[in-house]
Amino acid sequence: MLTARVYHDHAHGQPDGRVSLDYDGRFLRRKMLTTDAGEAFLVDLAQTRSLDHGGVLRLEDGREIEIIAAPEELLDVRGENLLRLAWHIGNRHTPCQIEAERLLIQRDHVIRDMLQKLGAELRQVVEPFTPEGGAYGHGRTHGHAH
């Protein structure tokens, strides 16, 4: 069984395979993964890290496996005051993908209820999720369970 001990934020050529992972699945240190083509391999990184869409894991034999953000169940958040909605989402330490016309968050009934009370227009979608990293470029934000 091959092992990947190195992660890069971009490929060094055409990737040799790909693995599709949701947002939670892209946060790991040591885990068995299977490429989209069915090849199993072990990830054994020195420390826990967030793997970005488009990043690569380098296998012992030199091949690179590209990380793909898999579609997952999300809430599409829109509204007249998107900045205010973004502030309330951030105030609850909720991972958020910020775009010009909308915000994307993982489905959560408590956050959904709060956003509805604030006048947000919400729609359930299934899309890849690539939220903003944490402050000062240190990767993920953490929910209140940290």
Reported as a single tens digit per residue, the pLDDT across 68-101 is: 999 999 999 999 999 999 999 999 999 999 999 9
* % of the chain residues with pLDDT over 90: 88
Distance (Å, whole) CA 124 – CA 106: 10
pLDDT of residue 48 exceeding 50: yes
Q: Which residues contact 133 (CB under 8 A, 6 or more apart)?
A: 50, 139, 140, 141
Domain-located, residue 146:
no
From 78, 68, 62, select the one nearest 123 (Cα to Cα). Answer: 78
Mean pLDDT, all residues of the chain:
92
Give the CATH number for residue 82.
3.30.70.790
Question: What letters, b where the CB count within 10 A reaches 16 and e where it falls short, cover 64-103?
Answer: bbbbbbbebebbbbebeebeebbebbeeeebbbbeeeebb
Residues written for the chain: 146
Q: Are residues 13 and 28 in the same domain?
A: yes
For residue 127, which amino acid is it? E
Domain-located, residue 143:
no
Domain-located, residue 81:
yes
**Tally of domains in the chain:** 2
Q: Which residues contact 51 (CB under 8 A, 6 or more apart)?
A: 7, 21, 26, 27, 28, 57, 67
| pTM for the predicted model, two decimal places | 0.85
Q: Residue 82: give the domain boundaries.
A: 72-137
